[in-house]
Amino acid sequence: MTRVHVWGASGYASAEAIRLLQTHPHATLGALESASHAGQALAEHFPLLRWSALRFDGPGAVLAAVAAGDVVLMGGSNGTAREHAPAFLARGARVIDLSADFRLDPSAVYGFPERYRDAIASARLVANPGCYPTAALLALLPLMALGVARQIVIDAKSGITGAGRNPAVGSLFAEVYGDVRAYGLNGHRHEPEIAHELSAVGQTAPFVFTPHVVPIARGMLVDAYVVYDHALDENVVRAAYEAAYEHRSMVRFLPADRAPSVTAVTGNNRAEVSATVHGTTVRAICAIDNLGKGAAGQAVQNFNVMHGYPEECGLDG
């Protein structure tokens, strides 16, 4: 059994990770640190943990408890992991960071197992990808084998939990309900992450990324349009996706007559992907749960890879 401590344990993604890890056959929970909720029962804050007897620990609990061989899952806000992760690493622990702090940092392995599985297996510090990049890259990366595109357009929609548990007024349900709201139009923080990963596979085409928040609690749908200078053969495109995901247990490439469903992936770590050809344009769609494959589920998947367990171990679906 591997002991997992959760630092910054009171956010949505952390709570989802705790839910998954509490029944994981190879994990046991250690300190659950939260400065804002110290001493309070998790059951008071998260309906999915209503049956749990666990309580939040106070500041410093993870550092006091961590030992060599442990894992620290960092769920704090952006900017905090970079300050605290070195102390956990110095104690001999391995760190999986849910924030954006290390995603573009060469000292960490990017925690996208569909591409970096071997590097994740031996990593001490894993930077869990953002939810938008996860869905966008699952939709786009199989196409990279077909050459450089002329233009990429990424239209993405996320549930409200993507804004975290302390959102701005504009992300409150009463503000979002009945609306589909585009935001981050002058540069979203996930845009450089997408650009970096596309560049890493030689894709230099310019892209436009438009994120939206929609009035659902959790879930994400990405529609990506990849434009080439020439017409493509749909059989060739489908073969590229089938080859990419044939042995990936968390990704399902759908038949040509089916589209990805947010409902089908809500509450689990699955991703559904489809691709269709329209002349010179490929339309690729991906559905994930922004708290599952887009955050906590992918963190547990990375935990599994780091310890040699099957990737689906402890994950629903």
User: Is the per-residue pLDDT at 165 higher than 70?
Assistant: no
DSSP 41: B
pTM of the predicted protein model: 0.94
State mean pLDDT over 199-225: 94
pLDDT of residue 26: 97
pLDDT of residue 278: 96
User: Is the per-residue pLDDT at 213 higher than 60?
Assistant: yes
pLDDT of residue 170: 65
- 286 is known as an active-site residue: no
pLDDT of residue 178: 84
Among candidate residues 81, 131, 137, 286, the one labeled active-site is 131
pLDDT of residue 163: 64
User: Is the per-residue pLDDT at 175 higher than 90?
Assistant: no
User: Is the per-residue pLDDT at 171 higher than 80?
Assistant: no
Q: What is the set of domains in the chain, with CATH numbers? A: 2-129+294-307 (3.40.50.720), 131-290 (3.30.360.10)
pLDDT of residue 189: 83
pLDDT of residue 77: 81
CA distances from 299 to 4, 142, 198, 208 (A): 12, 22, 21, 28
State mean pLDDT over 91-95: 98
Give 174's Cβ-side CA count (13 Å radius).
Answer: 2
The residue ranking higher by pLDDT, 38 or 118, is 118
Which H or E element spans position 65?
helix 61-65
User: Is the per-residue pLDDT at 167 higher than 70?
Assistant: no
The residue ranking higher by pLDDT, 35 or 94, is 94
State mean pLDDT over 162-188: 76
Structure tokens given for 166: 């302390």
Burial class (CB in 10 A: 0-12, 13-18, 19+), 199: exposed
Q: Considering the chain, what is the average pLDDT of its residues?
A: 94
Structure tokens given for 206: 């310019």
